[in-house]
């Protein structure tokens, strides 16, 4: 629970949070760039190297520490939303940041999934998830679960395109449909954790080569 540091602090905090509302284009671009960079880094370093896991583990520890600090202090949380106004989201005001879940999801895939699936799972998270968000916000007119049919269709198409080189077109379409269906369910769990893990499960179900 966030500690309240006074009425003026609360007003400043609410204003800082409101400044992050909207389409958040830089947040989407950062989401995409981080995933592409992580996937490329893992491929370049090699599947047997401990460096990606160590790097992601260190980043996750730092993110958790930051969340612990800001969620215990209204002042620290206000500073966070001011400094990272282009990247933060209102939903993170009293919760663990999506970037923390992002790191946890990517690290979990790196640890549990076959090495050949890592890049594809991360790229589905990096590309399909923000595509669904942008399309849903701009053109979503028909509700579906926690999102829209339009956003889910965008997720499906991007995910299928990402998975096709690995699994083949038919298997990629099936896997993408499974992940898109889970992504739109109102589970209450952050997508940055569920999407990469769901992608791994879907690849396993369709028998993708590892």
pLDDT of residue 6: 40
Q: What is the mean pLDDT of residues 133-139?
A: 94
Cβ–Cβ < 8 Å for 125, 35: yes
The β-bridge partners of 143 are: 148
Run of H or E residues at 147: strand 147-148
pLDDT of residue 9: 61
Q: pLDDT tens digits for 14-47?
A: 999 999 998 889 999 999 999 999 999 999 998 7
Q: How many CB atoms lie within 10 A of CB 11?
A: 11
Lowest mean pLDDT among 46-50, 93-97, 165-169, 183-187: 46-50
How far is the C-alpha of 17 from the C-alpha of 10, rounded, in Å?
A: 10
Q: pLDDT tens digits for 68-125?
A: 999 999 999 999 999 999 999 999 999 999 999 999 999 999 999 999 999 999 999 9
pLDDT of residue 88: 93
Q: How far is CA 62 from the centre of its chain?
A: 17
Q: Which of 153, 125, 150 is nearest to 140 (CA)?
A: 150
Residue 139: pLDDT band by 50, 70, 90 thresholds? Answer: very high
pTM of the model: 0.90
DSSP 14-83: HHHHHTT-S--HHHHHHHHHHHHHHHHHHHHH-TT-SHHHHHHHHHHHHHHHHHHHHTT-HHHHHHHHHH
pLDDT of residue 148: 94
CA angle 200, 142, 25 (to 5 degrees): 65
Portion of the chain with pLDDT greater than 90, in percent: 86
Portion of the chain with pLDDT greater than 70, in percent: 96
pLDDT of residue 5: 43
Distances from the Cα of 122 to the Cα of 36, 94, 190, angstroms = 8, 26, 15
How far is the C-alpha of 168 from the C-alpha of 28, rounded, in Å?
A: 28
Q: In this structure, what token pair is assigned to residue 95?
A: 């919760």
pLDDT at 7 over 70: no
């Amino acid at each position: 629970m966030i500690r309240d540091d006074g009425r003026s602090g609360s007003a400043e905090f609410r204003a800082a949070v409101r400044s992050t509302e909207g389409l958040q284009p830089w947040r989407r671009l950062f989401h995409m760039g981080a995933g592409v960079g992580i996937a490329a880094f893992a491929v370049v370093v090699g599947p047997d190297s401990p460096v990606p896991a160590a790097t992601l583990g260190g980043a996750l520890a730092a993110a958790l520490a930051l969340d612990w600090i800001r969620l215990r202090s209204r002042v620290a949380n206000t500073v966070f939303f001011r400094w990272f106004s282009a990247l933060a989201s209102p939903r993170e005001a009293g919760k663990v940041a999506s970037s923390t879940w992002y790191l946890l999801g990517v690290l979990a895939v790196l640890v549990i999934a076959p090495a050949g699936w890592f890049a594809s799972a991360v790229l589905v998270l990096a590309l399909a998830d923000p595509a669904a968000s942008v399309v849903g916000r701009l053109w979503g007119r028909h509700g579906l679960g926690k999102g829209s049919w339009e956003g889910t269709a965008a997720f499906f198409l991007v995910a299928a395109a990402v998975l096709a080189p690995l699994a083949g077109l038919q298997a990629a379409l099936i896997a993408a449909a499974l992940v898109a269906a889970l992504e739109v369910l109102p589970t209450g769990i952050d997508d940055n954790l569920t999407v990469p893990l769901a992608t791994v499960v879907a690849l396993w179900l369709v028998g993708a080569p590892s």
